[in-house]
Amino acid sequence: MKLPVPNEIIEKTLALYEQDAKASRASGARAPAPRVITISRLCGAGGTSIARLAGEHLGWTVWDGEILDVLADKSQGRYRARMFESLDEQRQGAVEATLLSCLGEPNRETYLYLLNKALYMIAQKDAVIVGRGAAYALRNSLAVRITASMETRVKHMMARWGLPRRETWKRVKTVDRMREKFHKDFARNLRRGCLRKSVAYDLEIDTDRISFQGAAAMICAAAEDFFGRRA
C-alpha cells in the first residue's frame, strides 16, 4: 500500500542534504568517507520508525523508500538536480562514472537508472537509507535487516492503516511479494562484479522481542564499530 509523501517531508530531507553538502564544499577540507546505513525490512516490522530513531541519534539524514520513489520519478527531476548541484564537480563525475560502469549505457528514463543515481548522490553524505534495494547498490554500507513475525507485523499495520485484521494480513502479504519481486528484478539487472548480486546482512534484528528503541540503539552501536573498523 503506497502512501503519498507530503512535500514538506521531501523538502526538509533535501534541505538537510543540501546544507551538509554545501558546508563541506565551503570548508575546502577533504571530507572523510561518508558513512551509510541501508535498512531492509519486512512490511510492518518497523524499519522506517527504527531508521528515524537511529538517524536522530546519529545526526544523519534519513531517506525512506517513498522519498526514493519520488527522486526516481522523472517528473520530479528538479529534486535530483538540486541534490546533484549540491555536490562538487569531482563527486558529480564519480556518481556518473560509477553508474556507467555498473549499468552500462542506461536508458536515462528508466526507474532503475534514476533510482541508482539518487542512491549514489545520497551516499555522498552520511545517511540512513530505508528500502528500495539500497544495500545492493551501496557495497560499503552497513547492511541491516529488520524482521518480525506475521502476527507482530499485522498488528503494527492494523494500527497504521486502520483496516480489519483479515484485510491487513492480505495487504502485508501483497507488499511482501512486491518487495521480493523488486529485489529479484534489481539483482537481475545488475552487472556482475560491480554491484551486489545478493546481500549478506551485517546485522539482523527481530522486533518481536526487541523494541524499536532497542533496535535503533543496536544499529547505532553496530555503526560505531563498523565504520570505526573501516577507518
Q: CATH no. for residue 117?
A: 3.40.50.300
Q: Is 151 a domain residue? A: yes
On the question of pLDDT at 57 being above 60, the answer is yes
pLDDT of residue 89: 46
pLDDT in tens, 67-123: 666 665 655 555 555 555 554 445 545 545 554 455 444 444 456 666 777 788 788
Q: Provide the H-helix boundaries in the chain.
A: 7-27, 47-58, 65-72, 77-86, 89-103, 111-122, 134-137, 150-161, 165-188, 212-230
pTM of the model: 0.71
Full residue range of the structural domain in which residue 71 is found: 7-18+34-230
Nearest to 41 by CA among 203, 159, 217, 158: 203
Identify whether the C-beta of residue 104 lies closer than 8 Å to the C-beta of residue 40: no
Give CA–CA dist 229/226, Å, rounded. Answer: 5
Q: Is 1 a domain residue? A: no
Q: Is 24 a domain residue? A: no
Confidence of residue 64 (pLDDT cuts 50, 70, 90): confident
Q: Is 45 a domain residue? A: yes
Question: How many CB atoms lie under 10 A from the CB of residue 94?
Answer: 14
Q: Is 160 a domain residue? A: yes
Give CA–CA dist 135/199, Å, rounded. Answer: 7
Nearest to 41 by CA among 226, 216, 222: 216
Determine the average pLDDT of the residues in 123-151: 89
On the question of pLDDT at 163 being above 50, the answer is yes
pLDDT winner (highest mean) among 8-12, 71-75, 138-142, 146-150: 146-150
Quote the cell numbers at residue 61.
Answer: 539524514
Give CA–CA dist 57/136, Å, rounded. Answer: 25
The CA distances from residue 131 to 49, 65, 97, 179, 184, in Å, are 12, 5, 24, 9, 14
Q: Is 27 a domain residue? A: no
The sign one gets for the Cα dihedral 169, 172, 176, 182 is positive
On the question of pLDDT at 190 being above 80, the answer is no
User: For the chain, how many structural domains are there in total?
Assistant: 1
Using DSSP's 3-state secondary structure scheme, residue 149 falls into coil
Please give the distance of CA 9 from its chain centroid, rounded to a whole number. Answer: 15
Q: Is 75 a domain residue? A: yes
On the question of pLDDT at 192 being above 50, the answer is no
Q: Is 38 a domain residue? A: yes
Determine the average pLDDT of the residues in 136-146: 89
Query: Burial code of 108-137, b = ≥16 C-beta within 10 A, e = fewer?
Result: eeeebbbbbbbbbbbbbbbbbbbbbbbbbb
Determine the average pLDDT of the residues in 49-56: 95
Give CA–CA dist 184/164, Å, rounded. Answer: 31
Determine the average pLDDT of the residues in 144-154: 95
On the question of pLDDT at 173 being above 70, the answer is yes
Top pLDDT among 192 and 211 is at: 211
Identify whether the C-beta of residue 215 lies closer than 8 Å to the C-beta of residue 146: yes
On the question of pLDDT at 166 being above 70, the answer is yes
Mean pLDDT of the chain: 75
